[in-house]
């Protein structure tokens, strides 16, 4: 986004050197100060533009507005890898009366939820679980590792939204069981807090802790004896426990009433057995995300809400029944983790 006019002050200065001899010292100093002010203003503009385009998003995570758009994420090949990869990611958030879809709480997920008391929602979700591609990591290629395919998980979540003074707060607890039973289960606890809102700019912070059972940790960081013979890495069988913790910054810049730039910067640290896996080159990684989102209003929302509430009046009772059955087994599911 470099401007073609960035070098014009230098060109003007060179053109004026033949006549500046007849100008007083005060005028020369005044001209120098004006050039410095222009230079500083240019740096501020470029810096503001760069910050807006850097890191998905204070607005998206801490509000219920419906958003959709494309984004880019610069991330490690896998948590613990030295290699980095750039990928296209969606920026999406929609909440209807019952069902939802979003990519703003750490995973891409869709599902159903209901509000038990104001600000407290609970529901069930289907989420995309990323895999691990050998061609993204030099380390994995050198050791002839195999790909770990992506998949899906099903699970439960409870989310509390509240405002303390001007600051919005979201606390999310979520469990995810991979549909491939060999990939195990994980549990997330995520806290997001809005810390700044001024004009078109919003900013927030978040932190997350994720626990994994032995199957999940082993699928990501374990090395079977047969794999050890192929890769030359020592066999490793991790157990369950805390998988990682993370901390990040969120922000958004409103371009106009319908469009905004969203972004995030996250630092993630492996914990427990995963941090000691032979597959781990480093215990912490950072990722940067940036995207542009379109804020859509009542047209889409009304269509979706009408489909749930009017055309299918039985939908609410079915969802409530399903949630009751699902939450009945939640404590047995959580007992699988070592907290």
Residue boundaries of the structural domains of the chain? 8-51, 55-334
In the prediction, which pLDDT does 46 show?
Answer: 37
**Mean predicted lDDT score pLDDT of the chain:** 79
Q: Is the pLDDT of residue 312 over 50?
A: no
User: What pLDDT shows up at residue 269?
Assistant: 98
What integer is the mean pLDDT of 152-177?
95
pLDDT band, residue 322 (cuts 50/70/90): low
Q: Average pLDDT in the 128-138 region?
A: 95
pLDDT at 27 over 60: no
**More confident call, 280 vs 23:** 280
Q: Which of 94, 93, 99 is nearest to 315 (CA)?
A: 99
Structure tokens at 140: 């994995």
Percent of the chain with pLDDT over 90: 65
pLDDT tier, 305 (very low <50, low <70, confident <90, very high otherwise): very low
pLDDT tens, position by position, 34-88: 555 544 544 444 333 333 333 344 445 556 788 999 999 999 999 999 999 999 9
Q: Which residue has the tokens 């890495």?
A: 233
Question: Each residue of 53-75: b (16+ CB within 10 Å) or e?
Answer: eebbbbbbbbbeebbbbebbbeb
Q: Is the pLDDT of residue 8 over 50?
A: no
Domain 55-334 in CATH 2.40.160.40: yes
Predicted TM-score of the model (pTM): 0.72
Residue 252's nearest CA partner among 171, 170, 195 is 195
pLDDT tens sequence across 87-98 = 999 999 999 889
At 296, the pLDDT band (50, 70, 90 cuts) reads: confident
pLDDT of residue 96: 87
Percent of all residues in the chain with a pLDDT value above 70, rounded to a whole number: 69
What is the tens place of the pLDDT at every residue in 11-23? 333 333 333 333 3
CB 80 within 8 A of CB 315: no
Please give the angle made by the CA atoms of 100, 205 and 95, to the nearest 5 degrees. Answer: 10
The mean per-residue pLDDT over the stretch 319-332 comes to 51
Looking at 150-213, list the stretches that DSSP marks H as alpha helix, in order from N- to C-terminal side: none
Q: How far apart are CA 307 and CA 232, in angstroms?
A: 56
pLDDT of 260 strictly over 90: yes
- 67 with 93: CB under 8 angstroms? yes
Query: What span, in angstroms and rounded, lies between the C-alpha atoms of 3 and 42?
Result: 10
In this model, does residue 306 exceed pLDDT 50? no
């Amino acid at each position: 986004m470099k401007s073609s006019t960035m070098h014009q002050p230098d060109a003007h200065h060179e053109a004026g050197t033949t006549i500046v001899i007849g100008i007083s010292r005060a005028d020369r100093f005044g001209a120098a100060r004006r050039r410095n002010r222009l230079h500083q203003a240019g740096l501020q503009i470029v810096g503001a533009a760069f910050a807006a385009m850097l890191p998905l998003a204070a607005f998206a995570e801490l509000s219920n507005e419906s958003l959709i758009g494309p984004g880019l994420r610069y991330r490690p090949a896998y948590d613990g890898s030295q290699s980095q990869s750039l990928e296209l990611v969606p920026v999406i958030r929609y909440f209807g009366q019952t069902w939802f879809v979003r990519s703003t709480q750490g995973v891409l997920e869709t599902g159903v939820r209901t509000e038990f008391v104001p600000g407290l929602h609970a529901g069930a979700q289907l989420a995309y679980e990323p895999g691990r591609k050998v061609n993204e990591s030099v380390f994995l290629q050198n050791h002839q590792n195999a790909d770990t395919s992506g998949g899906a998980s099903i699970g439960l979540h409870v989310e509390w939204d509240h405002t303390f003074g001007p600051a919005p707060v979201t606390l999310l607890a979520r469990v995810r069981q991979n549909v491939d039973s060999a990939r195990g289960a994980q549990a997330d606890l995520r806290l997001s807090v809005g810390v700044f809102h001024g004009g078109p700019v919003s900013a927030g912070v978040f932190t997350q802790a994720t626990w994994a059972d032995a199957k999940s940790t082993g699928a990501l960081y374990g090395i079977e004896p047969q794999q050890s013979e192929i890769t030359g890495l020592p066999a490793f069988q991790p157990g369950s426990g805390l998988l990682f913790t993370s901390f990040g910054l969120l922000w958004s810049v409103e371009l106009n009433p319908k469009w905004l730039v969203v972004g995030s910067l996250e630092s993630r640290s492996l914990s427990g057995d995963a941090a000691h896996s032979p597959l781990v080159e480093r215990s912490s990684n950072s990722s940067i995300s940036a995207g542009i989102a379109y804020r859509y209003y009542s047209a889409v929302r009304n269509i979706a809400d009408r489909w749930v509430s009017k055309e299918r009046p039985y939908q609410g009772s079915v969802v409530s029944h399903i949630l009751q059955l699902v939450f009945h087994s939640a404590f047995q599911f959580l007992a699988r983790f070592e907290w």
